[in-house]
């Protein structure tokens, strides 16, 4: 992007990050949001919790600076920061809650990250960045080489270099990184790790922008529904297949590998015990930074899934027709208002009838695939005083697979293995058999697991009957063990 005068002047007037840096409240906004969102890697926060945290912050500042420094209540400041003319926070409602929630906008996170570069560093490394740049150039050059002989020659060269290094180690010549080299590389690792967390918010922001543009196009579309669907789905495919979409998928596939997670955990444990790294006093959360990546990635995945689900409902036949009817009404109102403004008959009062719209949004219930059905046969159910119709499983409410995945990972952070029964005891089943089947899905798809066929476990959950009574449900199945 060209940074000419006109472009910079427009950014100064319109970009939220520039407005934040130019605000007299910038020290409060940046320090508070950095502490509650960025440092602990919190993606969203309920209004009550965020307002309480800000009220505590304001209390301390008023004690030092006087009451007149920040006279308004905390909630007023939050609403002001989320207003369109600021854009430093995103205020929204999460599914199933009537309480507003807040999240940082990507612009705010960029501004805070830039402010962080102002602080003086005791050590600035350059060697590791040069080596990284050199390695990236090599990967691009080798990865785009189409001549087989050239690639084979390069592979032979790398093999010879490895053989020479093996021979040196066997001879007792084992070169090690000095303290400066270790510090240099660790600082670069921390910087890239933080930038990666920042990228997730921008990915979400881009998908929300796409969703808004698609909804606007639906509302204003004049052609057939078939033509609209073809154009919209083509754009969504273009986003998924874009450079950003493919890069995110590659990152996610890499990080979802249990072998890669174990390797990252092992490497972090070893590196954080090295004396030169200990001298840098790294943040305690560095030890679990890869789990922060996973949580941020899961949040992004859930956001994209929710937007896709909402768009499908928005394109439902009933909603589509109702949207068209509402737009026809609005166009009629607009045309009549313009006509009356241009030539208002004397004494005539404008009246618009039949403008009430009844809008019904059908709630979509995704079905479980038939591939899961055979798993049910391995579960022996006890339902108490009534029979259980396992076919009803296929019309149950949505199970949050990402939340269950996160629960399993958290359980495996401080132990090498955990059984399905232990997981259900730590976090009781809220959606009964459907949630249990989802755990079994994850056991086969996303985690390393073993099944002890000789040991049967009983998993218990509670369900409220239509008459208000609480019944106990049980499932007996072979012991399923999730392994780190």
Rounded Cα distance between 316 and 313, Å, is 5
- What does pLDDT average to in each consecutive run of 10 residues of the chain (484 residues)? 82 90 93 92 89 94 89 93 91 82 91 83 66 76 84 89 89 84 85 80 75 67 63 56 68 76 85 88 82 76 66 54 57 62 50 38 33 42 45 51 84 84 88 81 76 83 74 82 84
pLDDT (0 to 100) of residue 328: 62
pLDDT (0 to 100) of residue 221: 66
Cα 344 to Cα 119, 336, 337, 339: the distances in Å are 65, 10, 9, 7
Rounded Cα distance between 234 and 231, Å, is 5
For Cα atoms 257, 262, 267, give the angle at the middle one, nearest 5 degrees: 125
Rounded Cα distance between 223 and 217, Å, is 11
Query: Do residues 362 and 313 touch, judged by C-beta distance below 8 A?
Result: yes
Q: How far is CA 153 from the centre of its chain?
A: 43
168's tokens: 């040196």
pLDDT (0 to 100) of residue 81: 95
User: For 301-308, which contacts have Cβ atoms below 8 Å and span 24 or more sequence positions?
Assistant: 301/252, 301/402, 302/400, 302/402, 303/204, 303/207, 303/208, 304/204, 304/207, 306/95, 307/207, 307/208, 307/211, 308/236
**Residues sharing a CB contact under 8 Å with residue 484, sequence separation 6 or more, in sequence order:** 258, 262, 412, 415, 416, 417, 448
pLDDT (0 to 100) of residue 241: 61
pLDDT (0 to 100) of residue 68: 87
**Residues sharing a CB contact under 8 Å with residue 326, sequence separation 6 or more, in sequence order:** 357, 359
- What is the residue extent of each domain of the chain? 5-116, 127-136+155-314, 370-483
Rounded Cα distance between 109 and 115, Å, is 10
Strand partners, 477: 457
pLDDT (0 to 100) of residue 231: 61
448's tokens: 């390393």
DSSP letter string, 80-147: HHHSTTT-SEEEEE-TT--SEEEEE-HHHHHHHHHHHTTSPPS----HHHHHHHHHHHHHHHHHT---
pLDDT (0 to 100) of residue 244: 61
Identify the CA nearest to 118 among candidates 189, 4, 31: 31
pLDDT (0 to 100) of residue 4: 85
CATH number of the domain at 5-116, out of 1.10.1060, 1.10.238, 2.40.50, 1.10.10? 1.10.10
Q: How far apart are the first and last CA of the chain?
A: 45
């Amino acid at each position: 992007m060209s940074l000419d005068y006109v472009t910079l002047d427009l950014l100064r007037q319109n970009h939220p990050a520039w407005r934040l840096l130019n605000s007299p409240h910038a020290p409060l906004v940046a320090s508070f949001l950095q502490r509650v969102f960025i440092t602990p890697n919190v993606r969203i926060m309920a209004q009550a919790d965020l307002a309480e945290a800000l009220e505590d912050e304001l209390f301390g500042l008023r004690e030092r600076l006087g009451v007149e420094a920040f006279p308004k209540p905390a909630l007023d400041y939050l609403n002001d920061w989320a207003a369109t003319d600021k854009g430093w926070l995103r205020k929204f409602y999460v599914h199933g809650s009537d309480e507003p929630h807040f999240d940082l906008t990507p612009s705010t996170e960029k501004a805070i990250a830039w402010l962080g570069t102002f602080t003086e560093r005791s050590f600035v490394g350059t060697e590791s960045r040069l080596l990284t740049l050199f390695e990236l150039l090599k990967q691009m050059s080798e990865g785009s080489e189409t001549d087989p002989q050239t690639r084979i020659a390069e592979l032979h060269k790398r093999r010879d270099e490895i053989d020479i290094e093996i021979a040196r180690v066997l001879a007792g010549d084992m070169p090690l990184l000095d303290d400066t080299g270790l510090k240099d590389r660790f600082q670069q690792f921390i910087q890239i790790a933080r930038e990666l967390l920042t990228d997730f918010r921008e990915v979400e922001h881009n998908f929300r922008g796409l969703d808004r543009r698609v909804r606007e196009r639906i509302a204003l579309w004049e052609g057939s529904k078939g033509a609209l669907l073809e154009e919209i789905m083509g754009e969504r495919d273009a986003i998924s297949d874009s450079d950003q979409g493919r890069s995110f998928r590659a990152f996610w596939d890499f990080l979802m590998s249990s072998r890669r997670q174990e390797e990252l955990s092992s490497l972090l444990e070893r590196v954080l015990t090295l004396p030169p790294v200990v001298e840098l006093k790294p943040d305690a959360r560095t030890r679990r930074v890869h789990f922060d990546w996973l949580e941020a990635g899961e949040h992004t995945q859930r956001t994209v899934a929710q937007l896709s689900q909402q768009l499908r409902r928005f394109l439902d036949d009933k909603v589509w027709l109702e949207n068209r009817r509402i737009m026809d009404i609005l166009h009629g109102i607009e045309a009549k208002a313009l006509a009356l403004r241009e030539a208002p008959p004397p004494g005539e009062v404008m009246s618009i009838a039949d403008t009430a719209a009844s809008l019904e949004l059908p709630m979509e219930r995704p079905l479980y695939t038939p591939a899961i059905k055979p798993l049910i046969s391995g579960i022996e159910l006890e339902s108490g005083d009534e029979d259980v119709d396992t076919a009803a499983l296929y019309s149950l409410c949505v199970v949050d697979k990402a939340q269950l995945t996160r629960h399993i990972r958290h359980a495996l952070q401080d132990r090498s293995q955990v059984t399905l029964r232990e997981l259900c005891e730590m976090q009781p089943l809220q959606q009964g058999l459907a949630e249990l089947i989802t755990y079994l899905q994850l056991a086969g798809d996303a985690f390393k697991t073993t099944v002890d066929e000789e040991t049967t476990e009983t998993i218990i959950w509670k369900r409220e009957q239509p008459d208000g009574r609480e019944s106990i449900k049980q499932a007996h199945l072979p012991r399923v063990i999730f392994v780190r």
